[in-house]
Amino acid sequence: MTSASKSEDPAQAASSQPPARGGRSFGDKVYLALTWASAVLVLIILGAIIVMLIHGSLPALRKFGFFHFLTSAAWNPVREEFGALSPIVGTLVSSLIAIVIGLPVSFGIALFITELAPVWLKRPVGVAIELLAAIPSIIYGMWGLFIFAPFFAEHIQPLLENTLGRVPGLGIFFQGLPLGISVFTAGVVLAIMIVPFIASVMRDVFETVPRELRESAYGVGCTTWEVVWKVIMPVTKVGVVGGIMLGLGRALGETMAVTFVIGNSHELNAALFMPGNSIASTIANEFTEADGEIYTSALISLGLILFIITFIILSLAKFMLIRMARAQEGRSA
């Protein structure tokens, strides 16, 4: 276990803090200062990012007001009117679609690797899924634009429109243009991208469940599914949720894959098969073209909002995974 546990084991404490005989040597002082400064630099980077984002957003936020900026759907560079509502909605909706599609798939993969796969298959499947995570997002974007979007428009979209699109109430969401470039497509591509992250966290936490627990459940006659759903899941709940949050954090901030397929339209639509935009895709598309202080500042404000949202989500994920690791240590001790 590599998590931060405050062990008071004297041998360990001694190794990391040797008793200073007449103080540390000069070399030690220099080395300590150097490593300490590098560690603190990590904190400084984060602090600087926050400070610079706030500094950059001030002109726009002062002009429009923070609350008004958040809730306005206006986006007119010529008249210098900006609001964050449409990118925020696009970001949340596409990420939500990604989680709804990606979650069951990740769960299935983790279940397959930990409980079902024969030993010789576990490693190759695990590695293959991890490779999916290593592929850069721009590749997903290109593939999404040239290959997946046309396929989606031709085969999957009509299917969804003719089934879910006919359901009263739900129907308005499953409408749109037959382009394949839409918020929904972005969600699907995001789902493919985050599945490896969620699946590998789930696999790791599933594998921490002690053997005895599984075996005793099998011993009283549980089926494999019952072992997973009623024994493993309750034990690993916190870690699983942490993994989902990690995936969500990734999806919210993902830029290139989304920029290619979301369509980059500032119009708000209930229909999911219409082009939309996300915070990251708006910044990616417009930042270099933005002229005028207010325009640039509005885009930096979007960046600030994105950073705050992902910071909160990722912190929650981290807390949950730490809690999971602590509980694990408690059990094994």
Among positions 211-270, residues that touch another protein (CB under 8 A) are 223-226, 229, 246, 249-250, 252-256, 259-260
On the CB side of 22, CA atoms within 13 Å amount to 2
Q: Which of residues 2-21 bind another protein (CB under 8 A)?
A: 2, 4, 6-7, 11-13, 15-16, 18
| Cβ contact 74:83 at 8 Å | yes
| Cβ contact 86:302 at 8 Å | no
| Cβ contact 272:165 at 8 Å | no
Shortest Cβ 148–another protein spacing (Å): 9
313: left (phi over 0), alpha (psi -120 to 50) or beta: alpha
Strand runs labelled E in the chain: 75-76, 81-82
Q: Which residues contact 128 (CB under 8 A, 6 or more apart)?
A: none
Q: Which of residues 190-209 bind another protein (CB under 8 A)?
A: 192, 195-196, 199
Closer by beta carbon to another protein, 111 or else 272: 111
Closer by beta carbon to another protein, 79 or else 220: 220
Shortest Cβ 231–another protein spacing (Å): 14
Closer by beta carbon to another protein, 70 or else 125: 125
| Exposure string over 190-203, b if 16+ CB within 10 A, otherwise e | bbbbbbbbbbbbbb
Gyration radius (Cα) of the chain, Å: 24
Is the alpha carbon torsion for 96, 100, 106, 111 positive or negative?
Answer: positive
Stretch that binds another protein, among 52-60, 72-80, 179-187, 267-275 (CB under 8 A): 52-60
On the CB side of 81, CA atoms within 13 Å amount to 9
Shortest Cβ 284–another protein spacing (Å): 6
Stretch that binds another protein, among 65-73, 121-129, 154-162, 171-179 (CB under 8 A): 121-129
Position 314 contacts another protein (CB under 8 A):
yes
Total binding residues for another protein by CB under 8 A? 99
Shortest Cβ 111–another protein spacing (Å): 4
A 10 A CB-CB count for 59 gives 18
Q: Nearest to residue 213, comparing CAs of 234, 193, 192?
A: 234
Position 88 contacts another protein (CB under 8 A):
no
Among 46, 100, 167, 172, binds another protein (CB under 8 A): 46
Position 287 contacts another protein (CB under 8 A):
yes
| Exposure string over 282-312, b if 16+ CB within 10 A, otherwise e | bbbbbeeebeeebbbbbbbbbbbbbbebbee
Q: Which of residues 164-183 bind another protein (CB under 8 A)?
A: none
Among 73, 74, 125, 327, binds another protein (CB under 8 A): 125
Shortest Cβ 50–another protein spacing (Å): 9
Among 100, 147, 159, 170, binds another protein (CB under 8 A): 147
| Cβ contact 134:193 at 8 Å | no
Among 65, 68, 100, 116, binds another protein (CB under 8 A): 116
Stretch that binds another protein, among 48-56, 73-81, 163-171, 208-216 (CB under 8 A): 48-56
